[in-house]
Amino acid sequence: MKINIVVYICIVILLVGCNDDIFIDNFLPNDQPILVVSDADNNKEISFKSNNWAILGVNDIFSYNSIKAYDLNGNSVYLPFKNSELGVVHWKSEFVDFHIEKRSPDKLKFILNENLHNGYSQVLVRVGNEYDQKYIELHLAPTQKYQIDSVVYDWDNFEEYQGNLLVVDSYVIKNNGDTPVKTFVYPYINSVRTISFYNPNVVWNENTFENYLGTTLPLIPIPDIVDNKPIIANTKVAFGIRDQKLETDLDKNLAVEVTISSGERREVIVYNLVERYTVPYRVYLSNPRTAKKLEFSGTLTSTKPINYYILKRVVPQITENE
């Protein structure tokens, strides 16, 4: 009985040794091939030494993605593929899109459709059979960004707000002397024009816009009010940064004299009279490489200082020892 067992084991070992297709060790040219797929070279193919393998899955670091699998007739199937099964895997996230195609028993093709990240994206493609599995490491290079085609403002819903005051500075002056005290305030030294993009249905993320448009965000024109009318002049802001501050043409060195009478304690409050408006916008984008189109919409708010007011408010004396 012992001799029969030994003979049986030897026969199995001999059969396995004569059939390389049972194991996957030799089906890849390298232990873990590394393929770089780029915009200029977006189609890469790797050859296998045998056909005893299948596409098992894709490992990645992305939080949100969609993986769909199809047979060669376009019918939906499931991963992992069966051993030697032919088919196509379509992997897609918000910024990355690529295909994995097994259309013949011994070849695997990788097609990069899009990688909008500003650096290489790495994914691991698992292949194998019931005995073992291997990884193919893909480095997906960044592809061409979107460009802004047009910016459209809804002038019918342009709203201007008059008479808004904004506090830009304040401090308390106490004159214990017998004569008036004079000082100077600079009403425009801290004055800036503020711009804000807003959409209640979107969580604004600057990285998202940098992925679509590049790390140097493009400039778009915004309205100015001239002679009480909104026009597109020369003012531009970066599209993708929600809140921005722009310099104005006001004189930051303008000094205004303020007098505090003898025995008075005054809080000097500096206001800027601001010109404020809101207007709905739509920004249309397209990708020259893929012909895909995008649209961003929301409301633009502009607040611009145009004048100043100074208030000298009486502050009661608190204590004698103050």
Instruction: Compute the distance between CA of residue 311 and CA of residue 266 in angstroms, rounded to an integer.
Output: 9
CA angle, residues 139, 141, 145, in degrees to nearest 5: 150
Residue 272 lies in a domain: yes
Q: Is position 116 within any domain?
A: yes
129 and 250 in a single domain? The answer is no
CATH code, domain with 249:
2.170.15
Question: pTM higher than 0.85, yes or no?
Answer: no
Supply the pLDDT for residue 51. 86
Amino acid at 204: W
- 144 in Cβ contact with 39 (< 8 Å): yes
- Element (DSSP H or E) covering residue 243: strand 243-246
**Residue 162: φ, ψ to 5°:** -100, 155
Query: Looking at the DSSP assignment, which residues form a beta bridge with residue 136?
Result: 125
What element of type H or E holds 245? Answer: strand 243-246
Between CA 252 and CA 254 the distance in angstroms is 6
Would residue 321 count as lying in a domain? no
Determine, yes or no, domain membership for 210: yes
* The pLDDT of residue 99: 96
Residue 15 lies in a domain: no
How much is the pLDDT for 15?
Answer: 45
Q: CA 171 from chain center: how many Å?
A: 41
With a cut of 70, which residues of the chain have pLDDT below it?
A: 1-31, 61-64, 317-322
CA distance 177 to 72: 94
Cβ atoms within 10 Å of 17's Cβ, excluding its own = 9
Residue 11 lies in a domain: no
Q: Is residue 38 part of a domain?
A: yes
The answer on 153 and 39 residing in a single domain is: no
CA distance 39 to 108: 19
Query: Residue 102's domain spans which residues?
Result: 24-140
SS (H, E, C) 177-239: CCCCEEEEECCCCCCCEEEEEECCCCCCCHHHHHHHHCCCCCEEEEEEEECCEEEEEEEEEEC
**pLDDT tens digits for 174-230?**
998 999 999 999 999 999 999 999 998 888 999 999 999 999 999 999 999 999 899
Domain boundary (109, 140, 171) is at 140
Two tokens, residue 199: 């959409």
- CA–CA distance from 208 to each of 38, 146, 211 (Å)? 21, 12, 5
- Strand, coil or helix: what is 259? strand
DSSP string, 122-178: EEEEEEE-SS-EEEEEEEE---PPPEEEEEEE-GGG-EEEEEEEEEEEEEEEE--SS
pLDDT averaged over every residue in the chain: 88
Q: Which of 140, 165, 184 lies at the terminal end of a domain, its last residue? A: 140
Assigned domain for 85 exists: yes
How many domains in the chain? Answer: 2
308 and 290, same domain (yes or no) = yes
pLDDT score of 163: 85
Asked whether residue 45 falls in the same domain as residue 134, the answer is yes
* Residue where one domain finishes, among candidates 116, 140, 164: 140
* Residues shown for the chain: 322
Are 180 and 306 contained in the same domain? yes
Kindly state whether residues 185 and 212 are assigned to the same domain. yes
Q: Whole-angstrom Cα distance, residue 197 to residue 239?
A: 9
Asked if 157 and 231 sit in the same domain, the reply is yes
Q: pLDDT tens digits for 264-294?
A: 999 999 999 999 999 999 999 999 999 999 9
pLDDT at 32: 72
